[in-house]
Amino acid sequence: AEYGYFQHYYITNNLRNWAMSTQATRIMSETLEFSNIIPILVSLILLVFTYVLLKQLFGKAKGNTIIMMGIEGSGKTALYAQLVAGKEVQTQSSLTENTSQLSAPPLKVVDVPGNARLRGDIFTKYSSAVRGVVVVVDSADFVDKVRECSEVLFEVLLNDNVRSSKCPILVFCNKQDEEMSRGPDPIKVAMERELTTLNNTAANALSDDSGARKMLGAENEAIKLDKLGHKVTAVGGVCVGPDMDISNLNSWIATL
C-alpha cells in the first residue's frame, strides 16, 4: 500500500510538473512571438509617420506649368515670345492664352491675357498644374499702375492651387532700360503696401460661397511677401530692343 501511495504521488507530481512546464513553454512561446511582432509594428508606425511628415513638408507633386500674368501693356507677351522663341514679335491684346513647351527644362509656358475680365478664369484653368508664376510689370509706368499690378499679384497669391503648392513667384520688372523705370526693390515695397490695402478691403467684403473671406493675412496686418510661405522674387529685365536681357527670368526658371 505504501508503495502504491508513493507511485501515485510520483505520477501525480510528474504530471503536475509536466503541465506546468508545458504551460510555461506556451507562455514563453507566445511572449517570443509577441516580441517578434513589436519591431514590425514599430517599423510600420515609423513608415506612416515619415509619409505624413514628407507629405506636409513637400505637399503635392510639382506641376509642369509656368504661368505668366500681368496687366495689358506690361510687355508680358513680348517677354513670352523672347522666352519661348528667342525673338521679338509684334504683340496686341488677346482674348485667349498663348501656350508653348520649353525643352530645357521641359515645362509648359502659358501667357494669360492681361484683360481683367478674362485672366481670372484662364489662370484658374491652368493653376492646377502650376510650377511657378511670373507677374510682369511695366517698370516705367509702374507709379501710375501700381494698384492694377498689385491686384494681379493679389489674385495670384489667393489662388487655391498657388497657396497649396507654395510655388515660387517672380515679379519681373520689365523695361528697366527706360529712363523713368523703377527698380525691383522699390516696386516690391510699393506692391506690399498695395497688397495690405487690398487685404483690408477684402476683410470688409462679403464672404464667398463657402462662408470664408479670402485674405493674405489678418485685417490691418502689414503684408510682407517674404512671410507668405512663397518664395517671391523681384528682378529687373528688358524683353525688347538692343538692351534686351531676360537672363534673370532664365535663371529663375532653372531653379524650378
Q: Cell numbers 496686341 correspond to what residue?
A: 92
**Which residues have CB under 8 Å from 6's CB, separation 6+?**
none
Q: Give, in order, the Cα–Cα distances in Å from 200 to each of 50, 87, 212, 213, 214.
A: 39, 42, 15, 11, 11
Using one digit for the tens of pLDDT, what is the confidence trace for 109-161? 999 999 999 999 999 999 999 999 999 999 999 999 999 999 999 999 999 99
The Cα–Cα gap between 160 and 31 comes to: 52
The Cα–Cα gap between 250 and 110 comes to: 15
pTM of this structure: 0.75
Using one digit for the tens of pLDDT, what is the confidence trace for 73-121? 999 999 999 999 999 888 777 789 999 999 989 999 999 999 999 999 9
Q: Which among 154, 124, 150 is positioned nearest to 137, based on CA atoms?
A: 150
Using one digit for the tens of pLDDT, what is the confidence trace for 185-220? 999 999 999 999 999 998 877 555 554 568 888 888
**Which residues have CB under 8 Å from 216's CB, separation 6+?**
154, 157, 158, 195, 199, 223, 228
Model pLDDT, residue 45: 80
Q: Give, in order, the Cα–Cα distances in Å from 133 to each of 66, 68, 73, 176, 216.
A: 6, 6, 18, 20, 17
